[in-house]
Structure 1
Amino acid sequence: MDSRPAVVVLLCLMGFTCAELVKFIDCGSTSGKVATVDINPCASQPCQLHRGDSYSVNVTFNSGVESQTSTAVVHGIVAGVPIPFAIPIVDGCKSGIQCPIQKQQTCHYQTALPVKAEYPAIKVVVEWELRDDNKQDLFCIKFPVQIV
């Protein structure tokens, strides 16, 4: 009996246990609407992000506008102060989104979130924006994480 199909199914199910839909707050999405946010791996919330590791961030949203470009801006909010959070690729068109973005298009934004080893162990709220041609937010989301 060939057990390869069972192994493939098992591996797929293991992948689903590492990612959990993240509870987020919309912080002013003016030209789009977020459907889901997930971080991989993230087994519980707030997601525990280990220093020196990198995480996959996936946001599914529906665009309310046409846009030739999309640009990500990420901050960590510490004691009410936004601190820029570097990500390797800020161009959303190089992060899973097919550009130009069409109105009413469902988009799947996917990028890496590296957690530098020098970051302090702290709870922080991440504010993630993806801006259109007019610097309006295709999405703006906030979600808590804990850097460990």
Structure 2
Amino acid sequence: LLSHCYKRNMDVRTGFIVSLCLMGLTCAEPVKYLDCGSKSGKVATVDITPCASQPCQLHKGQSYSVNVTFNSAVESQTSKALVHGIIAGVPVPFPIPMEDGCKSGIQCPIQKQQSYHYLNSLPVKTEYPAIKLVVEWELRDDDKQDLFCIRFPVQIVS
């Protein structure tokens, strides 16, 4: 009886989640990315919410949640994020609200062979031009080596 009730509750929850997705709410799906030099870690998944299609369409004046799951190959007391928009091959600094990875979902010190969920937001200012570009997101360790470095295409829209 207990397993029947549990299965029924799971079916109700699954149906609710599917209904939310069908009503137009965006469900997070892993984003396609390129590793651009992760030296002291390895990325498992990248999620951007909301991102209904790829390249992600980023609407001016909105903020997006970026979640990177990675495994660290080193120990590190600190971590610092750097974000750039690459436009015509030129990296342009892209400000984020929190550069300190230890205040972005990661409990520091970072331990070797542990999995971490880095979570930050990507605000899209209204003054940004409507343009297609590549976002490069790095999280660096104590030695300024990349725990992860990822690139993913986006399109800024009005």
Structure 1 length as normaliser, TM-score?
0.92
Q: 1:103 aligns with which of 96, 112, 128?
A: 112
Unaligned stretches of 5+ in structure 2? 1-8
Alignment check: 8 A CA contact 2:63 2:124 kept: yes
Corresponding residue number in structure 2 for 1:77: 86
- Are residue 120 (structure 1) and residue 109 (structure 2) matched? no
Tell me how far apart the structure 1 counterparts of residues 142 and 13 of structure 2 sit (CA, whole Å).
41
Tell me how far apart the structure 1 counterparts of residues 124 and 26 of structure 2 sit (CA, whole Å).
21
Larger Rg: 2
Q: CA deviation at 1:11?
A: 5.0
- The SS at the match of 1:116 is coil
- Are residue 138 (structure 1) and residue 151 (structure 2) matched? no
Please show how residues 43-54 of structure 1 align to structure 2 within 5 Å.
43-54=52-63
Change (3 A) 1:98 1:115: same
Alignment check: 8 A CA contact 1:20 1:44 kept: no
Q: CA deviation at 1:8?
A: 5.5
Unaligned stretches of 5+ in structure 1? none
- The SS at the match of 2:102 is helix
The number of equivalent residue pairs is 145
Change (3 A) 1:21 1:68: same
Tell me how far apart the structure 1 counterparts of residues 103 and 150 of structure 2 sit (CA, whole Å).
20
Structure 2 length as normaliser, TM-score?
0.86
Percent identity between the two aligned chains:
75
